[in-house]
Amino acid sequence: MMLFSLEPGSAFAQALAAELGVDFAAHEERRFPDGECKLRPLVDVRGADAWVVLGLHGGPIDSPHDKLWRLLAFVAALRDHGARRVGAVVPYLAYARKDRRTKPHDPVGLRYVAQLFEAVGTDAIVVLEAHNVAAFQNAFRIPATSLDAHRVFGPLARGLAGGGALAVASPDPGGVKRAQLWRESLEEQLAAPVGFAMVDKRRSAGVMSSLGLVAGDVAGATVLLLDDLIASGETMRQAAVALRGAGAASVVACAAHGLFIEPAAQVLADDAIDRLVVTDSVPPFRMPARAAATAKLQLLSCASLFAEEIRRQGAGTIVV
């Protein structure tokens, strides 16, 4: 099994390599003064199964667009040089949130990204916690897998149970299915009832509003507040405040992807949130080391989920 890395120093890439028990293979990347780049494998990939892995979050160096181009160009190069099968492992998928039209003449960014992957000859794609799994699967005409982040958070949740009341909550109506799946999984693992709640949220023209309405009983419970990503943190903060107002004993905010754009460090410092848990799909480079929110931040690795899926699909060559 061969493993290439397009993002040197990536903690996720290192963890994935360790899970798979392989070392990185050599490749070349040249960047030109005008911003163009060239990528090529330095090993023969003819006849090999290849997985190309790169998270498409913005920063700390490249934009999502730069990373998308590099990933697509490398997939295409592998196909040009005879790789038998090329799949993409994308811990964070850019444009996944734009999966439908909500305004006149809106684009459908997720579908356009899917078409780009297909155009360069990608055979399969694996991501962590797509924003809308059904829309994600429907956007692609190739096998598309969205891994459930709650599988990473499971051990943490079992440790928090401690015999007390436990509930899973969605911060908005759109995440109800995601939260329900985790609740069902926890009930099976714990052999005990787990509560469920949903917080009402509305968004229009980028402006979010909440009336603090909570559907479900969380009184006295430790609430696991689950979302696919945290951007500014305002969705999580407002939901946590509403849950505390409904009697929750504590709130643990869990998300697959921690983007932490401004002003997340200040917003997530709110006392309504006791703990903050995200995976390593996106490195928390935007969180200041001495911020109050950073002190309650816990980072969990999702590499084992991807390694398991790669093995399931019979990977031979992996590109990270």
The confidence band for 206, taking pLDDT boundaries of 50, 70 and 90, is: low
Q: Would you say residue 2 has pLDDT above 90? A: no
Q: Are residues 255 and 127 in the same domain?
A: no
Q: Which class for 190: exposed (0-12), middle (13-18), buried (19 or more C-beta within 10 A)?
A: middle
* Whether residue 57 is found in the same domain as residue 117: yes
Q: Are strands 37-41 and 27-31 parallel, antiparallel or unpaired?
A: antiparallel
Q: How many structural domains are present in the chain? A: 2
Residues 45, 156: Cα–Cα separation, whole Å: 40
Residues 174, 112 within the same domain: no
Looking at the structure, tell me whether residues 135 and 163 fall in a common domain.
Answer: no
SS3 289: coil
Residues 168 and 136 in one domain: no
What pLDDT is attached to residue 315?
Answer: 47
> In which domain, by residue range, is 312 found?
2-148+304-319
Does the pLDDT value for residue 317 go beyond 70? no
- 209 vs 98, higher pLDDT: 98
Question: Are residues 11 and 76 located together in one domain of the fold?
Answer: yes
Specify the pLDDT at position 210: 60
Q: Judge if 91 and 159 occupy the same domain.
A: no
Residues 157 and 292 in one domain: yes
pLDDT by residue (tens digit) across 260-283?
999 999 999 999 999 999 999 999
Residues 172, 290, single domain; the answer is yes
Identify whether residues 180 and 314 lie together within a single domain.
Answer: no
Say if residues 20 and 1 touch (Cβ distance below 8 Å).
Answer: yes
Check whether 204 has a pLDDT greater than 80: no
pLDDT at 133: 95
In tens, the pLDDT along 48-74 reads 988 889 999 999 889 999 999 999 999
Which residue has tokens 């709640």?
A: 197
Res 278: pLDDT: 98
In this structure, are 138 and 88 located in the same domain? yes
- What are the tens digits of pLDDT across the range 248-265? 999 999 999 999 999 999
pLDDT in tens, 292-304: 999 999 999 999 9
Burial of 316 (0-12, 13-18, 19+ CB in 10 A): middle
Mean pLDDT score, 69-86: 96
Helix then strand count (H, E) for the chain reads 10, 17
Bridge partner residues of 51 (DSSP): 87, 318
Query: Do 242 and 254 have their domain in common?
Result: yes
Q: How confident is the model at residue 3 (pLDDT cuts 50, 70, 90)?
A: confident
Extract the tokens encoding 84. Answer: 């038998």
Write the CB contacts of 250 (distance below 8 Å, at least 6 apart in sequence).
222, 223, 274, 275
Percent of all residues in the chain with a pLDDT value above 70, rounded to a whole number: 94
CATH number of the domain within which 270 lies? 3.40.50.2020
Percentage of the chain with pLDDT > 90? 81
pTM (predicted TM-score): 0.93
pLDDT at 208: 54
